[in-house]
Amino acid sequence: MNITPILEREKKALILPLTVYKELEKLANSPDYCKRKHPDNPMLNTLAIRACKVIIIMQRAHLIDIFADPDDGDFADNVFLHVFTKKRMQFDILLITQDRGLANEAMNLGKDTRAVKVPKKILVRRIDKNGFLKKFFDSKQQKNSSSVEVVSEEIPINERFAFTKEIVQIEGNLPVSKIPTAGEDVIAVRNNTQRQIRLLEELGAGGEGSVYKTNMAGFVAKIYKPEKITRMRYEKLQLMLTKDINCAGVCFPVALILNQRSEFVGYLMQAAKGRDLGKSIFMPMLLSKYFPQWNKIDTVQLCVTILQKLKYLHDRNVILGDINPYNILVVSPTEVYFVDTDSYQVEGFICPVGMPIFTAPELHKKNSQYGLRTLGNENFAVATLLFMIMLPGKPPYAMPDGGGIVENIVNGEFSYPLGELKTGKAPKGPWRYCWSHLIYKIKETFYETFWRDGAFHDEKKRPGSGHWLRLFEYYLELLKNGKLEAQDDESIKIFPSRLKKDKNKTYARCILCNKEYEEERLEHGICRDCLNDGEKYTCEKCGCEMIYTNYQRYIKHAKRYEICRDCFEKKNTIYQRIKCKDCGKTFEITYGEKDFYDSKSMSLPVRCEECRKKPRVTSTHSSSTTQRNVPTQQKTTTYTSPPESSSKKSGWCFITTAVCEYLGKPDDCFELTTLRDFRDNWLANQIGGKEDIREYYRIAPLIVERLAISEEKHCLYGRIYSEYIEPCLEDILHGRNECCRKRYHEMVDMLRQKLSINFIESEDHLDE
Amino acid sequence: MNDLLRKQDLETNPMTRVPICLCLDVSGSMGRIVGGETRKTGRTVEVDGRTWDVVEGGITALQELVGGVNLFYDNLLEDDVARYSAEICIVTFGGNSAEVVLDFANLERQEGERQEKISSLQARGETPMGEAVNMALDCLEERKKSYKDSGVDYFQPWLVLMTDGEPNGDVAELNRAISRTNELANNRKLTVFPIGIGVEADMSCLAKFSPKRPPLRLKGMNFKGFFEWLSSSVSRTSQSMPGSKIKLDVEGIKSWGELD
C-alpha cells in the first residue's frame, strides 16, 4: 500500500527514530555487515539501499521526520520498547514488524498488566506475503504444547511420567496356569493393597482378550489371552500404576488383576459406555440416527471434552499413540470415554500400533514400525481427529484427483482453502460448506498444520491439545452466546447447506423457500433451486411426470405445458404418408394432425394440402369443413416459444443441454431456458450472431460426442457448469450479454482444445 | 439411475469404499440340478457342448448362487459400517456375451432393482469368461475414477470370479483379461477371489487369473458359506482405515472352500 497520499491528506509525517535510520545506513553501506547479520537474505543490502533512498525522498517532501531520543539506546529494537512503555497508557499501539523476537517482547509488554490496569491495547502484527496484516502465533504457547521436554510446572510429580528416549524391550511371556472367566474370583492389586473381586458377565472380546463386568460397581476387568501375558505388558502396567492418573472418562489401569495363584492375567479399569466415534460421528448417516438432536454446539463441545482429556494426559507425558475413532466412545457431548489405554505410550514403553490416516508424515517417511512417538507426532493425530469431527468422518487429506491418503499426508497435500489461498481441489459435496463455517482461527490452525508449507506443519511446531482446547472453547462460546448464529443462521448446523456468508455481499431470503442466498443469485426474489422446482403434474398424453417450474410460472409468466416435450415432438413426426387422390403426390400426416382428426371424429384427408385449397370441380360431396379446419402445420399453443428439439436447431445450447442432462436437470430448467432465450432473442439479432449460431451448430455436436466418451468427462461437465454456464447466466441476468457471448466462445475454445477437435475434422464429420 | 443421485451419494458419504465386482458364470451348465427332488421327463438337450437329461423340480446351481448373492447383500445391509462402504457391481457371463447386471451404487440405492435383477438371471449359453472379466475390470476402473473425481477414499477393489466350467469365448479377450488381472494384482491394485463351482470348473484357468492366491473350489454347493465369509471379510475391511493391512480370515475359508 502506498502511504504517501494518506500522509499528504492528513498533513502528517512519519516518525523515524534515528537509530533505525542508522541501522539501515549501516546495512546499505556494508554488504559484509549484511552477510554477517542475515546470511539467509542475499537481497538485504539492495533493499537497504532502496529504503535509504525512499527515506531521503520522503524527508524532502516533509513526509518523514527523523528523531533522536537520548533514552532510546543504540539498538533499534530498544526504541520500540522504550516508546511503548512511555506511551502505552495514553494510546492504543499497533506494532507492525517481521521480527519475531521484537514481536514477542511487545506482546509480553501488552500482557504485563499485573501492576496497573491498562486501558489501552498493544497489538502486534506482521505483513504476510500478500501485503495483509497477520497475527503472530504466540510462540510461547507453541513451545509448551509441542515439545515433550517442557513439562508443565503445575503437575505434581506423582502424576507425571518421566521423559525418556530409550525404548524398553523385554522379551518373553509370564507363566500362567489358569485364565479366569465369568463367575470366578480374582485379585486386584495396587501398591501392596489387595482386594478380592469377582468377574461377572463378559462384556466383549477382542484380539487381546476379554472384558468382564465385576462386582466393583463402575469398574471392569480386562483379562488377556494366555499368549498376550508377556513380561513387557506386566512391566508396562506396573509402571502405569505408579502414577495417579485420574481423569473421568479415561479408562486408565487402576489395578493389576491376578488369578487365584497370584499370576498376572489382566488389569482393572473404569467402565466405559457409549458408541465409538467411528460408528457414530464419523458416519453422517449414523450421526443423525444416534444423535438426531445434535447441532454444531454439540460437535464443538465434543471436541472440547475430548481435548480436555487429551490435555490431561499430555500434561502428564502420556502419549496415546494410537488415536483413532474406535477407541473413543461417546455418550453425549460432555460424556466421553477413552478405551484401550493399556496401549498408550508411557516413558520407554511404546505404543506399537497406529492407523495410517492418523499417522504424521514424518512417521510415514520413516516407513518403519511405530517407535517412540513424540508429542509432535501425536499432535498430528489430534488435529486429524478434530478435523474429522468438524467435517464428520472426512479425513483431511481426501481430495479429488489426488493420490492415496498416505501419499497426500507425506506430501502435505491439504486441499481446503484459507482466504485467498486455494488449491481448488477441496472434496465436493457438503465438505466445503462445513469447512467454510469454521471460525477463521480454527481454519487457519488446520491449514497451517496440514498444508506442506504451513507455519505449523513441522513436527515441532504443531499446536498441541492445550492450544486446540483454547480455540475450541472460544468457538463454543461464540456458538453458545449466539454471535455466530446472528451473523449466519447456517453456522449452527453440522452440515450447512451453503458457504458462510461473505461480509461484502448482501443476502436475502428466497420468497419461496425462505432460505438465505446472495442477493444477486436470486431472480425476482427466488433462488435457483426453487426456480427449477415447481408444481409436479403429469403429461396429458403419456402420463409421464412433468414440472411446471417456478421459472416458467413467476419469471416467464408462461402457461403450463399440457404435454411433455417428447409427446410434443412426436406431434410433428410423421404418422402416415398418403398419396393424394387428385394429383398423385405423396403428402404427410403428422401425429398432431392425426390427433386433430381423431378428436373431431374425422377420417384422415385423402387429398394433399394444395389440392384441398383448390376449388373442387369433380367432387360432388364437398368437405369444406374439413378443409377449413385442417391444420396446415400443427403449431402448439401450449409452448410460449417454439421448443426446438436439441438435435435440430439448438446448436448454441447443445453443450449446455448435454451438461444439464448429465446433472439431471430437466430440459426446461432455468439454465437451458435462459440460454435459449438469450440465443433466440438477443444473439440472433446481433451482427454476426446468426453466423455464431451456425458455427456452433457445426462444432457442438462433435464436442458433445467427444465429451461423452472423454476420460475426463465427469471433471469437464462440472467445469463447464461452474466455470462457464453459471457465469454466463450471471452475465445474462445482469445484462452483460456481450460478456456472455465472449464467455461462450471461450468455453468452446477450451473444449476444442481439451478434446483435440479442429475445424477440418469437424467438417469431415459433418460431411459423413 | 439418476446421475445426480449417484453423484450426491458419492459426495455426501465420507466412508472409505470397498468396491467389489462379482463376476458370475450363468452359462447353460449352471442350470444343472444340484439338489432337491427331481423327476425325469425322458427328454434330453444339448447345452454347452454336452447332453443333459431334462427333469422337473430340483434346485439348480444358479438358484444356489442367487441365494448366496442375496445373502451377501442382506449380511452387508445389516452391518452399519459395511452398508455404507461396500459397493457392489455384478457382471455375468452366459448366453453369447458378458453383461453388467447391476452397476455400482450405494447398496441402499440398489435395493430397488437388486432382487428383481438377480432373481431373473437365467442359465444359458456359453462361458465367455474373458469378455466378462474385462468388462468387470472396466467397471472397477470407472468406479475408481468417480471416487477420485469426488475425493472419496477407497480400498483397492475386489474381484470375485466364479465359474463351473472352462472359458469358451474369444481367446484373445481371455488372454487380455488374464494379463490385466495379473498386472493389477501384482501391483496390489486388485484382490482376486477365483472360485470354482463343482468338479468341472477349470481350476488351472482360474489360477491364471490369480498370481497371489490359488483358486479355491467350493465345497459341495456351499455358496452360502462362501458369501457369509465374503461379507464378514468386507465388514472387517470396511472397519479398518485406508492404508491399513487387511488380514483375511484364512481359518474361515475351510468351511466352504478347498485347494485342489
What does the pLDDT look like over A585-635, one tens digit per residue? 888 888 888 888 888 888 888 888 888 877 655 444 444 333 334 344 433
C-alpha cell at position B141: 476402473
Q: Looking at A148-157, A547-556, A568-577, which range is the least confident one?
A: A148-157
Domain with B62, as residue range(s), is 15-258
The beta-carbon neighbor of A662 closest among B3, B8, B148 is: B3
Residue B170 lies in a domain: yes
Question: Which of A524, A575, A579, A580 lies closest to A553, judged by CA?
Answer: A524
Residue B7 lies in a domain: no
Question: Which of B10, B52, B3 lies closest to B27, judged by CA?
Answer: B52
For residues A384 and A358, is the Cβ–Cβ distance under 8 A? Answer: yes
Question: Which of A682, A676, A681 lies closest to A725, judged by CA?
Answer: A676
Residue B201 lies in a domain: yes
pTM of the model: 0.64
Contact A429 B11 (CB under 8 A): yes
Closest A-chain CA to B80: A279
Q: Which of A515-524, A703-712, B208-217 has the highest mean pLDDT?
A: B208-217
ipTM exceeding cut-off 0.90 for this assembly: no
Residue A650, helix vs strand vs coil: coil
B3 in contact with A, Cβ within 8 Å:
yes
- The domain that contains B28 carries what CATH number? 3.40.50.410
Number of neighbours of residue A104 by Cβ within 10 angstroms: 15
The beta-carbon neighbor of A714 closest among B13, B149, B239 is: B149
Cα A560 to the center of its chain, rounded Å:
40
For residues B215 and B206, is the Cβ–Cβ distance under 8 A? Answer: yes
Mean pLDDT over B70-84 rounds to: 89
pLDDT beyond 90 at A97: no
pLDDT beyond 80 at A84: no
Residue A15, helix vs strand vs coil: strand
C-alpha cell at position B75: 449380511
pLDDT at A189: 93
Mean pLDDT over B205-216 rounds to: 90
Residue B100, helix vs strand vs coil: strand
Optimal mutation site among A357, A388, A714, A716, interface B, most CBs of chain B within 10 A: A714
Distances A159 to A184, B93, B192, B233 between C-alpha atoms, Å = 33, 67, 52, 43
Burial zone of B40 (CB within 10 Å; 0-12 exposed, 13-18 middle, 19+ buried): exposed
Optimal mutation site among A279, A283, A387, A432, interface B, most CBs of chain B within 10 A: A283
pLDDT band at A640 (very low <50, low <70, confident <90, very high): very low
pLDDT at A762: 36
Amino acid at A175: P
* Run of H or E residues at A234: helix A231-240
Q: Which CATH number applies to A4-139?
A: 3.40.50
The percentage of chain A sitting over the pLDDT mark of 90, rounded to a whole number, equals 33
For residues A568 and A688, is the Cβ–Cβ distance under 8 A? Answer: no
pLDDT at A456: 94
Long-range contacts, stretch A239-248, CB < 8 angstroms, 24+ apart: A239/A161, A239/A346, A239/A347, A239/A349, A240/A342, A240/A344, A240/A346, A241/A190, A241/A191, A243/A158, A243/A159, A243/A160, A243/A161, A243/A316, A244/A158, A244/A159, A245/A159, A245/A313, A245/A316, A245/A318, A247/A309, A247/A312, A247/A313
Residue ranges of domains in chain A: 4-139, 560-629, 651-767
Number of neighbours of residue A206 by Cβ within 10 angstroms: 10
Residue B112 lies in a domain: yes
Beta bridge partners of A197: A186
Contact A425 B151 (CB under 8 A): yes
Question: Which of A342, A333, A321 lies closest to A270, judged by CA?
Answer: A342
Query: Higher model confidence: residue A198 or residue A736?
Result: A198
Alpha carbon distance A495, A2 (integer Å): 43
What's the gap in Å between the CA of A718 and the closest CA on chain B? Answer: 10
**Chain B 149-188, residues with CB within 8 Å of chain A CB atoms:** 149-153
pLDDT band at A138 (very low <50, low <70, confident <90, very high): low
Strands A209-214 and A545-549, by their bridges, are: unpaired
Residue A763: partners with Cβ closer than 8 Å, 6 or more residues away: A698
C-alpha cell at position A431: 465438505
Number of domains in chain B: 1
Which chain A residues have a beta carbon less than 8 Å from that of B108?
Answer: none
What's the gap in Å between the CA of B127 and the closest CA on chain A? Answer: 29
pLDDT band at B26 (very low <50, low <70, confident <90, very high): very high
pLDDT in tens, A293-317: 999 999 999 999 999 999 999 999 9
Beta bridge partners of A292: none
Question: Which of B191, B83, B186 lies closest to B136, judged by CA?
Answer: B191
B11 in contact with A, Cβ within 8 Å:
yes
Residue A67: partners with Cβ closer than 8 Å, 6 or more residues away: A15, A16, A17, A18
pLDDT at A476: 96
Residue A311, helix vs strand vs coil: helix
* Run of H or E residues at A442: helix A440-450
Amino acid at A585: K
The beta-carbon neighbor of A400 closest among B4, B150, B239 is: B150
Distances A586 to A308, A328, A581, A590, A604 between C-alpha atoms, Å = 88, 81, 9, 13, 14
* Run of H or E residues at A196: strand A193-205
Alpha carbon distance B191, A168 (integer Å): 38
pLDDT at A617: 52
Look at phi and psi of residue A625 and say left if phi exceeds 0, alpha if psi is from -120 to 50, else beta: alpha
Q: What is the CA radius of gyration of chain B?
A: 18
pLDDT at B19: 94
